[in-house]
Amino acid sequence: MATLEIRDLHVSVEAENGPREILRGVDLTVKQGETHAIMGPNGSGKSTLAYSLAGHPKYTVTGGSVLLDGEDVLEMSVDERARAGVFLAMQYPVEVPGVSVSNFLRTAATAVRGEAPKLRLWVKEVKEAMASLQMDPAFAERNVNEGFSGGEKKRHEILQLELLKPKIAILDETDSGLDVDALRIVSEGINRVRSTGEVGTLLVTHYTRILRYIKPDYVHVFAGGRIVESGGAELADKLEEEGYESYVKGGASE
C-alpha cells in the first residue's frame, strides 16, 4: 500500500523583503485508497502544500521531510516525482502551444509506465476515458489547453488522472470555475479513480460543494500555514455552517 508521509514540512517563498515562510510545520499521512480534503481560507497555504509536493521551483523547502513508500520525495526532480506516482491537477492548467493532447497524453503515459502503450489499445483507452468525461474526441488533436474553457481544462486534468493512474493524486481546487454540470462530471471522474482503491487523494478546496459529490475519509483545516484541526466528513459540515473565522491566526499567503 502506497503511503505519502509529510513530517514537519516548512516551506518559504522569495518576497521583496527576503524569504517568507508559508508552511510552518505540516504533518500529514495519506495512504493509498484514502481521500483527504484540505480546506481553509485564501492565504492559508493550501496551494503551497500542493505545489511543494509536486516540486514547483518557486517554493523552497526549509525543513521537514516528504516520503513516498519510504523514498525521499524532496530529493526527486519534478519528472521523477511523477514517475514515482505523484500527480498534480493544477488550479490553473497552463496552455502548451504546439503539443497536441494526444501526443502529450501518450508521452506522459510512456514516461510513467516505462514503455509506450500499444497504440491500438491506447487509442481505445483514451476514447473511453474521454467519453466518460463527456469530452469531444476532437479535443485529442487540439493543442494542450489552448482555447479550452475552464471546465474543459479541468476535464483534461481528470483525463490525465484516469490514464496515468498515480499512487497519490493532489487535486488543487479542481472545483474552481466549474458550473454545476461540469462539477458533477469532473467529480464522477475523480470517483471512478478513487473506486479502484489504488490512489490516495489529497483534495484541496475552499468550499464544501465538491464534497457533496466526493465524500472524504478525512478533512483537515488549514490556517496560518499548518493543519489546525482534523476530523471526518462531518468537519466539512461544520465549516459550511461556521466558516473559517475561528481558525484564522495569521496572514500566510498561498
pLDDT of 251 > 50? The answer is: no
Rounded Cα distance, 68 and 56, in Å: 17
> Do strands 226-231 and 218-223 pair parallel, antiparallel, or not at all (unpaired)?
antiparallel
Q: What's the confidence (pLDDT) of residue 54?
A: 95
226-231: strand order across its sheet:
86-89, 168-172, 200-205, 35-39, 218-223, 226-231
pLDDT band at 232 (very low <50, low <70, confident <90, very high): very high
pLDDT band at 17 (very low <50, low <70, confident <90, very high): confident
Among residues 151, 152, 171, the alpha carbon closest in space to that of 161 is found at: 171
Share of residues in the chain with pLDDT > 70 (%) = 98
pLDDT of 248 > 80? The answer is: no
Question: Residue 103 contacts by C-beta under 8 Å, 6 or more apart in sequence?
Answer: none
Mean pLDDT of the chain: 92
Rounded Cα distance, 244 and 222, in Å: 9
Rounded Cα distance, 165 and 85, in Å: 8
**Mean pLDDT score, 133-155:** 92
Question: What letter does residue 139 receive in the DSSP assignment?
Answer: G
Q: At what angle do helices 180-194 and 119-132 cross, to 10 degrees?
A: 130
Q: Could you give the domains of the chain?
A: 3-242 (3.40.50.300)
Looking at the whole model, is its pTM more than 0.75?
yes
